[in-house]
Amino acid sequence: MKLVRYGMKGAEKPGLIDADGILRDLSHHLSDITGVTLDDHTLGRIARIDPADLYPVEDEVRFGAPLARIGHFIAIGLNYADHAEESGMPIPAEPVVFSKAPSCVTGPDDDIAYHAGITKLDWEVELAVVIGRRAWQVDEADALSHVAGYTICNDISERAWQLEGTGQWIKGKSAPGFGPLGPWLVTTEELDNPQTLDLWLDVNGERMQAGNTVTMIFPVAEIISYLSRQMSLEPGDVITTGTPPGVGMGMSPQKYLKPGDTMKLGIEGLGEQRQRIVPAG
């Protein structure tokens, strides 16, 4: 299934995208899409609904993040060897883990504000994993059974806040709007292997990033198992899994986003996002 949340910011409704690409309203069957509603029983109940019985949404609508009230927003850094190289950092021996504030989550096509103090705003297309079943000290072989589905994350980064001064990556990753998710959550019966997906990102129509999740240093199952040995992963947690090369920080000379720039990005089978950088209002 492709699950979505659509409508005005703060008033999104649940929906799904049917096999013909038509948006269907789920609000008579589900109050919202949250960690609580990602259990096997609820997803199974929704999967048994004939999409033709759901009201089609024919108006042009805004998509919100496909998950409301996410729990922990966990990120994995330097998970593609060529991205680590362009960042001037060694290939990690184990996953590099940091957090993004859940308050940074926004819709896949929402504008991104160029906040006061920003000087080095960067892009990162990433595969994001949504946990649907509690995972605590799980084996790698069982790890993917704890996944509800997958979506796209643009891990927006302010590099000066992230790496200069005292550093601390969470500071450069967490401003409002720095976590576009969506457009939809693709459940695991539709995407059973997350390690074969092409991903790409353009800025102002120019291809900046192109890669495939097969080249991850630490694949999704290993990441989940690794994290679960040190923390409990709960339904509604989101893990964004790293980016391929082509970020602005890695260019010579470096290239950063400014108001008026537009990003378009996508992952095979997971749809596309589009964001515009706008002056903070």
What is the predicted pLDDT for the residue at 35?
95
Q: Mind listing the pLDDT tens digit for each residue in 60-97?
A: 999 999 999 899 999 999 999 877 777 787 888 999 99
CATH number for 64-279 (one of 3.90.850.10, 3.30.70.3340, 3.30.56.10, 3.40.1440.10): it is 3.90.850.10
What is the predicted pLDDT for the residue at 83?
78
Burial category of 280 from C-beta neighbours within 10 Å (exposed 0-12, middle 13-18, buried 19 and up): middle
What is the predicted pLDDT for the residue at 86?
78
Peptide bond into 95 cis (omega under 30): no
What is the predicted pLDDT for the residue at 274?
98
Structural domain boundaries of the chain?
64-279
Regions of the chain where pLDDT drops below 50: none
Token couple for 185: 């959550």
What is the predicted pLDDT for the residue at 178?
98
What is the predicted pLDDT for the residue at 167?
81
What is the predicted pLDDT for the residue at 82?
78
What is the predicted pLDDT for the residue at 85?
79
What is the predicted pLDDT for the residue at 200?
98
